[in-house]
Structure 1
Amino acid sequence: MEWYVYQRGSSPIRKVSGKRRSRRKRRLAVACAVVAAAGLLWCAVVFNKINSAVTSSPMAEADAGVILGMSMWGDVPSPGLKERLDYGLQLYREGKFGRFIVSGGLDQEGYKYTEGQGMRNYLVEQGVPDEDILMENEATSTYENLLFSKEIMDREGMASAIIITHSFHGTRALEIAEELGYTAPELGLTESAVMSMAKYKSREILAYTKWKLQQLFL
């Protein structure tokens, strides 16, 4: 089929082929399919990276155990954050590190404690001496958790760290630590019995993608 464009009182001035329009539509469809396939491939690659993170083994003793913040539930750590804290306590009691660094800012206006303060309170309640806990209260992201914790380490003359978080979060945390200049950072990873992995791993794919874009401009 052929389509013609007319001006009033004149002969045809332009002919647009229906076949040409069809070819354009096919090209657009192919381009969309390629983009969708690339997106799915990227998600698969990232999902595999997320699942490949493991606790450092053998784990060398370090100066600090850096516990990355997570949400507070009012005045107390959320169940997910308690899992990180309990695993950190286990490593501390095993002598894997001598001091904690707890990092995280205020979740919501009106909350009494920042994530860092909430973690400190929990550790003290579990018998950790207050002098063994260094606290950071400003971070709002994993990048800031590790950046501000590194500043504390530098100030305190600490050279090595075990980064404590959940397994699904380990790959991104390690990459950020390496980017920030941590010396041979180790991972202490715990699984979760209280969080939906479908939800958190899906969010981590997006967070990891954002991190890789951020890394391009560092």
Structure 2
Amino acid sequence: MKSHLLALALSGALALTAAPYSFAANDATVQSSTDYSQFVTKRQVVDQLLNDAVTAFKSPARVSHAGFTAKMPSNMEIVTNRLLEAYQLEPYRTDLLISAANAQIYNKNADRAISLFQQALSVAPEDVDLHAYLAVWQRFKGNQAESDKHMATLAKLNPGKAADIELIFTTVDRIVATPLKEKAAKGKLDDKGAIITLGYALNPDGSMHPILVERLETTLAMAKANPDALIVLTGGVPMNHKTEGKLMADWLIEKGISKDRIIEENYATSTVDNALFSSYALALHHIKHATIISSASHVRRGQTLFEIASWQTGPQNITFDTVSYPDKPLKELTTPNDDELLGIYRDALRTYGMWSYRSYPLESR
């Protein structure tokens, strides 16, 4: 009798792995070769589904576009579907729905993400993170009344978090409304100032991409014009046993910049990491103002994340501005497009501490 009931419990999960979730076989897609019928318990099926999600998430089949440097996995539909299959077996696991929704944010499908967040909210109507996510993504979609509704509920449940989300909105609005510039404002780095240069993925042979070299040319000019400014070089994705931070430092030193001015941050693998890891160096040196150098289509995201990171580490009165390497004509970037704005909001939440993936072993900012 017991084995009969277990078979019934698993039958729904096994059905979910059939045709509706099949994927075309190609090099850019991770295929599941798992036969779920070999597993005995529901827990084992869920664990394997989550392991399959991790495999898809970590697949090397990824793309990166100049300026928008976040690695965007091409297998997010598989990640989403595996998480939803697991949720069918464990419908109390709202973490699975939150992770699936955020996979859709990475897939640039905010509408489907909102639907999944709302589904999770029907299970946990007082979940503060769900109201925060829905406030953000409804705002992104232009549904201000819906965003306001979730903000009002969030303010009742957790006033502190509501204030933080409102501050994120204010910060993003101010930064996206600030015109991009190719040259630094004079006098900003006179006292306790820093130049922060964001890395860019290295070529397969470990050499620097031309976009990164252009960022360094901008850095060199600023470093010479501001001889007392600290220089933070952040980027740690290894390629051929080399990192962006180390190569950037070597390049500047060869051009005559003193190594005593340079801080190498060789561990960041994303813009979120750039901000979180570098903020400690800014705090240690009591920096009052920092200028962020990156590609024009990337600097607004960078500034947003550095400002949010500094809320926790300080210095509390630090200010930021940006200088852009024009990977595109600045006139074309006067207003961020939807992809850029989505990346700003997504990574703002991650920097703030709301992890995108929270379903072990798929756990990641």
TM-score of the two chains, using structure 2 as the length reference? 0.41
1:4-153 paired onto structure 2 within 5 Å: 35=111, 42=140, 53-55=179-181, 57=185, 60-61=188-189, 63-73=193-203, 74-95=205-226, 98-108=229-239, 111-153=240-282
Structure 2 residue matching 1:127: 3-state secondary structure: coil
Structure 2 residue matching 1:101: 3-state secondary structure: strand
Counterpart in 2 of 1:207?
A: 343
Structure 2 residue matching 1:87: 3-state secondary structure: helix
1:156-195 paired onto structure 2 within 5 Å: 156-181=285-310, 183-192=318-327
Contact residue 198 and residue 294 of structure 2 kept, 8 A: yes
Counterpart in 2 of 1:4?
A: none
Per the alignment, do residues 205 and 126 of structure 1 end up closer, same or farther by CA in structure 2, a change over 3 Å counting?
Answer: same
Higher strand share: 1
- Aligned partners of 2:227, 2:187: CA distance in 1, in Å? 8
Per the alignment, do residues 91 and 158 of structure 1 end up closer, same or farther by CA in structure 2, a change over 3 Å counting?
Answer: same
Per the alignment, do residues 59 and 81 of structure 1 end up closer, same or farther by CA in structure 2, a change over 3 Å counting?
Answer: farther
- Return the index of the structure with the highest Cα Rg: 1
TM-score of the two chains, using structure 1 as the length reference? 0.65
Structure 1 residue matching 2:236: 3-state secondary structure: coil
Contact residue 249 and residue 262 of structure 2 kept, 8 A: yes
Deviations 1:13-53 (A, max 9, x none): xxxxxxxxxxxxxxxxxxxxxx59x99x9589x9xx86965
Counterpart in 2 of 1:30?
A: none
Residue 156 of structure 1: how far off its partner (Å): 3.1
Residue identity matched to 1:54: L
Residue identity matched to 1:68: L
Per the alignment, do residues 184 and 145 of structure 1 end up closer, same or farther by CA in structure 2, a change over 3 Å counting?
Answer: same
Residue identity matched to 2:244: E
Per the alignment, do residues 184 and 139 of structure 1 end up closer, same or farther by CA in structure 2, a change over 3 Å counting?
Answer: same
- Aligned partners of 1:207, 1:89: CA distance in 2, in Å? 28
Percentage of matched positions with identical amino acids: 23
Per the alignment, do residues 121 and 43 of structure 1 end up closer, same or farther by CA in structure 2, a change over 3 Å counting?
Answer: farther
Higher helix share: 2
Per the alignment, do residues 170 and 113 of structure 1 end up closer, same or farther by CA in structure 2, a change over 3 Å counting?
Answer: same
The structure, 1 or 2, with the larger RCO (C-alpha pairs under 8 Å, 6+ apart) is: 1
Per the alignment, do residues 185 and 94 of structure 1 end up closer, same or farther by CA in structure 2, a change over 3 Å counting?
Answer: same
Per the alignment, do residues 86 and 43 of structure 1 end up closer, same or farther by CA in structure 2, a change over 3 Å counting?
Answer: farther
Q: Could you list the runs of 5+ residues in structure 1 that have no partner in the other structure?
A: 1-34
